Chain A
Amino acid sequence: MNALEVTGLAVRTTAGESILDGVSYAVAPGEVLALVGESGSGKTTAGLAALGHFRRGLVSAGGAVTVHPRGGDPVDVLSLDTATRRRLRGSTVAYIPQDPALSLNPALRIGLQIAEVLETHGFPGPVDDRVAEVLEEVGLPTDPAYRRRYPHQLSGGQQQRVGIAMAFACRPAVVVLDEPTTGLDVVTQALVLKTVRALTAEHGVAALYITHDLAVVAEIADRVAVMYHGDIVESGPAEAVLRTPSHAYTRRLLDAVPDPDASVEHPETAEPVLATQGVRVSYGTNVVLRGVDVSVARGECLMLLGESGSGKTTLSQCIAGLTREYTGTVSLAGTGLATSTRQRSDEQRRRIQYVFQSPFSSLNPRKTIAQSIEVPLVRLTSLSRAQRRERVAEMLDRVRLGRALADRLPDQLSGGERQRAAIARALVTTPDVLVCDEVTSALDVSVQATIVELLGELRRELGMAMLFVTHNIALAGEVADRIAVLQGGEIVEEGAVRTVLSSPRHAYTRDLLAATPRL
């Protein structure tokens, strides 16, 4: 018998636009079903329906959601009134949100927050013991001192495990996990996935795992349902769907997953076009970079790998002249650069370009795409207005955006399209070095693939050097010639991609490689 059954679920917007069109899926106790799809495919809407929840502006337009509580009669969630539905949530159907930092109350101690869930749902038995028990289950310390901590005193991974503890506290029959590892680094992600896997198997909980990352699916799911445009286009055992996908969309999603074992042949190159010597940054007593030396040769791509807090963004900002508070030198083709970008010459500014992490923040929402891309041309070249417009149009074609999008505002574009526009802005003055700061981390896996591919092509076409900053080691084989691994503000390992991936010398690199999910 299934713990959760969704049959013929249809959801539309209040304006009448169809979002889900007869979606059906079922999850058995102890089983993990992964709902896979890209942003906008309707996977979150389909998942939240299991909680009887529809986001603002969405209404149910038919179908049934049936939940089988432990030892109780099946309940049709959609026919319940608001109060009963609310009682069901947390006790029978639990939810684990994407960002634990946002879902935990920052003003309440974590022990109290878990106890609150139990008290709200009238947990039979001593609440305190259950809190300790459930903390132990997710692999966290159970001592009173730990329970008295506030969320900000925990790491991201610990916060997410507290979220999981809260969800599992009342021994629910069904848990819905909404991309719970998106914000975590690979090592923590591996730990969280293991915890979820163990808990569902041990307690016979039906888990619905919403994600866009097929590599994660391979790690955790028993069965997979692939969603596309509000429909489930393919479903079946994880092994079968991932090995022998039948639907074209699934095959394309699978192709988009970066392969950590891929490698691209690249010629040996010599003269470094960009180099840093002994770059140190510290804020008060907090040392961010401890004398970093990296160099990128002409036409080469160096991957700067590190987790959040390793100092990789700080280093790339030193190179771009966005931060002034560093010692050491950044040199371009052998010439030392001024620390601040305002003191560098136009020519130096032109030769180093930077693509920011989030395309949602790097484009002025009140400027059209063409206006944004034109800025470097206005500042760094003496082209006439007509020439500038021509260059912008050319560049839009180059990044496969098309001239038609020139006069749109960023809000009218998708995340991937915005990142292309940001790349066009960086490349419009044909730089020698392109610094890419986590350019794919805000994007879906499938969009990530298109951006990485685009960057590779443009690099070959324009013959520029690239510093690719990322936390995702899986991308190494796809983009980079060399890898430099940054940990705690120091380069701990550096070498050719193939050498580092096949025989990592440093323990940290080995951990990263081991934790990276594979298909």
Chain B
Amino acid sequence: MTAVELPGTVTQAAPPVRPAGLFRTAWTFPQAKIGTGLTLLVVLIALFGPWLGPVLTGYTTTDFAGKPFKHDGVAGTDGLGRDVLTRFLAGGTTLLLYAVLATALGIALGALLGMVAGYGGGRLDSLLMRGNDVLLSFPQLVIALLAIAVIGPEGWLLVLVIGLTHAPRTARVARQATVAVRENDYIRAAEMYAVPRSRILLREILPNITGPLMVEIGLRLTYSIGYIASLSFLGLGIQPPSADWGLMINENRIALVVQPWGVLLPVLAIAALTVGTNLVADALASAAAGRKREARA
């Protein structure tokens, strides 16, 4: 038997084409573009709004700009006569910051738990995942309400509680993905070289489960925004007199008919943000599942 030296197929010096990454594939979906657009719009408002507001309107968030529910300025005033546009522009920063922190905490913790359970297997897996199931049986918002009712509406608590309640949900996804990756021979090869387990988790498994984790990030961010806005609306999140979208909806809903802007602006912003992040998550999920959009020839 002799090796086949094929005419013309001897390792061509073709430029190495890296397989298209997750983000690049996701970007071919229209919902990724729409979602990114919506998210970016709201993020820009949240980032530059606090600075832009006073410049545009001449008022700060707590200045009494005029009489209550008047159509002074662009979006009028609220019940205390404060300028709605200024408060709207300033109201997203804290919400977004808390949502991002809570998501980061939830994903980090959940991914770690899920990978340990999925890679460890056996009794450790059962123990972790059954504990997980117990936590999953409580609605997230109920746990958050309970914690805040006991300790009080603190920002760090909001982040902690929402982050912690995200973790079991992420852990399930991470475990599932880890179990699939664990079966590969490259994990066995790493074990054969006695690579420390922590290193196997970080270097061999984590890079191969980024797809599902990205989807989780998008999804958990959507939920975080919703929960924090809900808690603020209920008066258990960000406290007055801070400008905050959830809080604004609550404060201004009594005058919905007279002065709709006070409710409409924050509602639109929250909707755009959640729909936007959800669309991005959706595109990432489709890309991760390998459902590439058919090339339209």
Contact = CB atoms under 8 A, between A and B. Distances in A.
Interface stretch (B1-9, B54-62, B171-179, B265-273): B1-9
B191 interface: yes
B6 A364 contact: no
A96 interface: no
A358 interface: yes
A449 B16 contact: no
Given A364-B207, A365-B208, A412-B16, A354 B186 contact: no
B185 A357 contact: yes
A148 interface: no
A449 B3 CA distance: 5
A356 interface: yes
Interface in B1-43: 1-8, 11, 13, 16-19
B191 A412 contact: no
Contacts of B7: 248-249
A57 B293 CA distance: 11
A358 B17 contact: no
B4 A375 contact: no
B75 interface: no
B19 A375 contact: no
A402 B13 CA distance: 11
Contacts of A449: 1-4
A320 B192 CA distance: 7
Interface residues of B, number: 32
B166 to A, nearest CB: 25
A407 B204 CA distance: 17
Interface in A420-447: 425, 446-447
Given A252-B6, A409-B18, A450-B3, A425 B295 contact: no
Contacts of B185: 356-358, 361-362
B193 A453 contact: no
B1 A258 contact: yes
B142 interface: no
B28 to A, nearest CB: 14
The winner among A258, A361, A425, A447 for most chain B CB atoms within 10 A is A361
Nearest to A478: B1
Nearest to A59: B297
A57 B28 CA distance: 17
Nearest to B295: A14
Contacts of A14: 295, 297
A26 interface: no
Contacts of B234: none
Interface string B39-57: 0000000000000000000
A408 interface: yes
A259 interface: yes
Given A14-B295, A349-B193, A361 B6 contact: no
B224 to A, nearest CB: 28
A259 B195 CA distance: 40
A367 B2 CA distance: 32
A364 B297 contact: no
Contacts of B6: 249, 252, 446
A366 interface: yes
B189 interface: yes
B188 interface: yes
Nearest to B189: A362
B126 to A, nearest CB: 19
Given A253-B4, A411-B19, A342 B194 contact: yes
B160 to A, nearest CB: 32
Among A57, A363, A446, max chain B CB count under 10 A is at A446
Nearest to B187: A364
Q: Which 8 A-B pairs have the closest CB atoms?
A: A366-B207, A362-B185, A446-B4, A450-B3, A356-B185, A255-B2, A379-B193, A14-B297
Given A379-B194, A412-B19, A453 B8 contact: no
B190 interface: yes
A362 B193 contact: no
B184 interface: yes
Interface string A340-374: 01101010010000101110011111110000100
B249 to A, nearest CB: 44
B11 A402 contact: yes
Contacts of B203: 367
A452 B208 contact: no
A341 B194 contact: yes
A356 B188 contact: yes
Interface in B162-216: 184-186, 188-195, 203-204, 207-208
B274 to A, nearest CB: 31
B1 A322 contact: no
B19 A453 contact: no
A485 B11 CA distance: 37
A14 B208 CA distance: 30
Given A361-B185, A425-B189, A449-B3, 19 more contacts: A57-B295, A252-B4, A262-B1, A341-B192, A342-B194, A354-B189, A356-B185, A357-B185, A361-B184, A364-B204, A364-B208, A366-B207, A375-B195, A376-B193, A379-B195, A408-B16, A409-B18, A409-B19, A450-B4
A358 B184 CA distance: 10
A42 interface: no
Given A253-B4, A256-B3, A322 B191 contact: yes
Contact of A256 (B1, B18, B188): B1
Contact of B5 (A252, A258, A321, A425): A252
Contacts of B4: 252-253, 255-256, 446-447, 449-450
A332 to B, nearest CB: 14
Contact of B186 (A15, A56, A361, A411): A361
A417 B14 CA distance: 15
A15 B192 contact: no
A412 B183 CA distance: 22
Contacts of B193: 349, 375-376, 379-380
Contacts of A15: 295, 297
